[in-house]
Amino acid sequence: MLIVHIPSWFPNAESPLSGNFILRQIATVGDSTTSVILHHADPDLDIPIPENVHFHPVPNVKKWKLPEAYMKAFAQIMREYGRPDILHLHVAWPLGPLAAYIARKYGIPMVISEHWSGYQPMNRGRLTFIQKRALNYTFSTASHITAVSQNLLDNICATIPDAAQKRQSVVGNVVDTGLFSLKQPTQNDKKRILHVSTLDDDAKNITGILRAIKSLSSQRTDFELHIVHDLENKEAESFVEENGLSGVVHFLGRKSSAEIADLFHQSDFFLLFSNYENQPCVLLESFCTGTPVVTTPVGGIPEIANAGNSVIVAPKDETQLIEKLEFMLDNAHKFNPMEIREKALQICSTDVIGEKWLEIYRSL
């Protein structure tokens, strides 16, 4: 099968890790299909394209010239590889209308896989009239729609009427289970809490985390919070300095996947105090290393978090968060790392996710 992938999210100069989980999903079928990625890439960026996937760059032109550039690039793919069997759109906004037009023009079945939080109830009202029209057109073109959680799939259907009439599947994120391997018992002088995110306060509630850490640090001094972050948050950094938390909270900046895996291996548990989510890759990565988590039951998290791998705290409830953190500092070692990992492998390994995609492709 020839699959042409059009990802709306892709590594770029401002965010070199953008859409890296999309590239991992594409790689799961690279050995079983001829997979070609079509995208207007930054020519100065070293893009980590999977070895089993072909990459066809679109010239990085001005926005109003992108449709023509994509059409020319797609025609070139047709000449080089033949007519694609499937067009796979990864995230419907903003490239969805363009992908839908190509699919209609050439009569090619289109699959949409969605990761975007824009359909969540707290974000739905922010969609503009143009976005809603574009999304309706895109989803009306699809032959099959997938999302990384049932919660996200339900919210897509609640937002886009045409989506509810389409064939649907849940296909979760994939983890490099070789890299995120089973950790050994930690040997830290102080117990280590890990948080990995963009530090977007609206979604991740980093200020809530820091307030809870401040309160907890006045009660006990046997822990540290290590934060990996793609973007800077000056307010968060100022809060740490002004409240004398520099010895407790450590901002580590951007890290590679290998470095993040090593940090999981060194940590006692992982923390995610989000206001909304879909299916966080970082939770799956934590589970694959056997690291338990403290997290909120938002979005698709309840579909993967349970009493065997997590302690649940209500979103925005900082008092409860302090209680759960204190509990985990004393009890994280009682979780079974091997059991956590084995159950995670059943939902996010390359083989499991790859087979789900192949079943969908074959059905079309």
The fold of 2-174+349-363 is Rossmann fold (3.40.50)
Q: What's the distance, CA 2 to chain centroid?
A: 25
Q: How confident is the model at residue 16, as a pLDDT?
A: 72
User: Is the CB of residue 335 less than 8 Å from the CB of residue 292?
Assistant: yes
pLDDT at residue 15, as a whole number: 76
Quick one: which of 16, 8, 13 has its CA closest to 198? 16
pLDDT of residue 117: 94
The CATH T-level fold of domain 191-347 is Rossmann fold (3.40.50)
pLDDT at 161: 87
- Measured CA to CA, the distance from residue 297 to residue 184 in angstroms comes to 28
The answer to whether domain 2-174+349-363 and domain 191-347 are alike in fold is yes
Where along the chain do its domains lie? 2-174+349-363, 191-347
Degrees to nearest 5, angle at CA 264 with 262 and 268 = 130
At 348 the pLDDT is 97
The pTM of this model reads: 0.94
Determine the straight-line distance between the first and last CA of the chain, rounded to whole angstroms.
11
Mean pLDDT in consecutive groups of 10 residues from the start of the chain, 364 residues = 96 78 94 94 79 92 92 97 97 97 97 96 94 96 97 96 93 96 91 95 96 97 96 92 96 94 97 96 98 98 97 98 98 97 97 97 96
The beta-strand segments (E) located in 186-283 are 191-197, 223-229, 249-253, 269-272
- Helix 281-288 to helix 257-266 angle (10° resolution) is 60
